[in-house]
Chains A and B, each alone.
Chain A
Amino acid sequence: MAKRIDVSGLNAYYGAHKAIDDISMTVEPRSVTAFIGPSGCGKSTFLRTLNRMHEVTPGGRVEGKVMLDDENLYGPGVDPVSVRRTVGMVFQRPNPFPTMSIFDNVAAGVRLNGGRVRKDELDGIVEKSLKGANLWNEVKDRLNKPGAGLSGGQQQRLCIARAIAVEPQVLLMDEPCSALDPISTLAIEDLIGELKERFTIVIVTHNMQQAARVSDRTAFFNLAGVGQPGKLVEIDDTERIFSNPSVQATEDYISGRFG
């Protein structure tokens, strides 16, 4: 169910502008890896290269290799659509489909690509995914109501349910709690702890306490200056990054001396 990600020599561009420079790292399966760093350092861009969402942006371009176990996501003939089915994503702002019911939102991914699923099988998938996202008890009596009628935190968990319904190998989360209140944030963080039993999780966060709470490993990104590409400074066990990082810039950032 969960695969290792091995990135080597990855550059990403927006048109002529280089956004991230020569990143190599390994993301362990069944663990949570957090990306931290100041704004504009390329951590979200890097996250979006991991499921080929970066190239959706006009002018977006990627060089380098992203290995998912032994498959290169940027290899010749690899279909971005099937990559995105293997590597799911949760966004900063909850984005359930506004015209769909809660049930249809969760089933949306399963029904894609001409997927014909029997009704009872689909019911099972939806229930399992909503339970997996800790949302089942709150919505089981109103599955046919619009997903947009839920609270922000519930909407974000609905989006997580939608993402895990297609059984991806990896789950990418782009600041999933930055639009949520503390209680909803706690619910999502608890959920991340449960989901890592089944998925490889990568989370971008601006909140360093959150990185310390949820992640097993932490990567620190930085940029030399405005207009310069972002770089990976270091990646290590979260405990080590927050207690005794090997690079001075990491310690400066974590202790609040800049950023």
Chain B
Amino acid sequence: MDITPATAAPPPLGAAPAPAGQKATTRPGDRIFLALSRGSGILLLVIMAAIAVFLTVRATNALSHNEGNFFTTFEWSANSTPPVFGIAVLAFGTVVSSLIAMLIAVPVAIGIALFISHYAPRKLSTPLSYVIDLLAAVPSIVYGLWGALFLVPHLGGLYSWLNDYFGWTGIFEYHDGAARSLFTIGILLAIMILPIVTSVSREVFLQAPKMHEEAALALGATRWEVIRMSVLPFGRSGVISASMLGLGRALGETMAVATVLSPSFEIGKSLLDPGGGTFAQNIASSFKESGEIGKDALIASGLVLFVLTLLVNGAARLIIARRKEYTA
């Protein structure tokens, strides 16, 4: 701030001439806007720090009373004396259901996005993208109710089919019972993250440079080959970040999971076994009946989810940054 231009040196081109000893005029509008935007930026950092401190302090309190191993115990009795709780089941349930959701949603979303951006006539593509965006606006409790009342009773057939053909793998073994399993949660989460993955991918595909599409066309490429040669390579990083956005939502989804799942603290051998749990679902289901230590234990599990989400976002940013040169 205290650097003044040397007296003899001519001012650089484009810089406002500022005679020594005289401050450049700043207008009140600029000062107000600067203060506002700087304040917002600082506020954001303060809030983030406050959340982190709050989570860490409360979590430490619970962990110091915990009689079980926080990472390996298959139990959540945070309100008994002494408290015993561990996140193994929650971590497993969260990661597995979100992975199932990704495996189902991402290919379908890419297909829909390509259809809207490159195959559908304009008359169809505009209303279709509108409907997709609308899907994202449905509250998650509505998805939860639909999942519990419609999806669960109707999945028996699919479960039996999976058992007949893939039961030998062990993870698709099914014995009669309500389909309130991690697999059902995965399907439900897939439907819930489909809109966000689709609309971000669609935007990226629409930005694929026309000149590369024409280059492929002029070589005698079919429509699919044009997409493979020019659209998909261009859209790759965008699809990755879209998927990570979806994954973030799936990891943190609460109400839909809590409505559908019948929670239990064991890890079933088969994905189709009822039971299991996720971080967010466990917090929502047990918070009200929890005492002091119980609440802190839930906060500790929330901290783990927070870190998990941060890691996913960081990984996505790394992947995108590494491929930046191709998006220009």
Contact = CB atoms under 8 A, between A and B. Distances in A.
User: Interface of chain A, helix or strand or loop or mixed?
Assistant: loop
A99 interface: yes
A82 B219 CA distance: 9
A77 B110 CA distance: 32
Interface string A58-91: 1000000000000000000000011111001101
A56 interface: yes
Given A91-B211, A98-B212, A166 B219 contact: yes
A213 B212 CA distance: 30
Interface string A143-173: 0000000000000000100110010000000
Interface in B185-214: 209, 211-212, 214
A36 to B, nearest CB: 22
A91 B213 CA distance: 12
Contact of A56 (B217, B225, B234): B217
A81 B215 contact: no
A23 interface: no
Contacts of A109: 219-220
Contacts of B217: 53, 56, 84
Contact of A58 (B122, B214, B219, B222): B122
B197 to A, nearest CB: 22
A113 B225 contact: yes
Given A58-B122, A98-B233, A81 B211 contact: no
Contacts of A53: 214, 217-218
A81 to B, nearest CB: 5
B290 to A, nearest CB: 52
Interface residues of A, number: 27
Contact of A81 (B122, B220, B234, B328): B220
Interface in B213-240: 214-222, 225, 229-230, 233-234
B interface, how many residues as a size bin? Answer: 20 to 34
A116 to B, nearest CB: 15
A82 B220 contact: yes
A81 B233 contact: no
B211 A93 contact: yes
A51 interface: yes
Contacts of A13: none
Interface string A84-106: 11001101010111111000000
Interface in B35-90: none
A89 B222 CA distance: 16
Contacts of A112: 219-222, 225
A89 B218 contact: yes
Nearest to A104: B229
Given A93-B211, A97-B212, 16 more contacts: A85-B220, A91-B214, A95-B214, A95-B215, A98-B233, A98-B234, A99-B233, A99-B234, A100-B233, A108-B216, A108-B229, A112-B220, A112-B222, A113-B221, A113-B225, A166-B219
28 contacts: A53-B214, A53-B218, A56-B214, A81-B222, A84-B218, A84-B219, A85-B220, A88-B218, A91-B211, A93-B211, A95-B209, A95-B212, A95-B215, A97-B212, A97-B229, A97-B230, A97-B233, A98-B328, A99-B233, A108-B216, A108-B219, A112-B220, A112-B225, A113-B222, A113-B225, A162-B219, A166-B219, A166-B220
Interface of B: 122, 209, 211-212, 214-222, 225, 229-230, 233-234, 326, 328
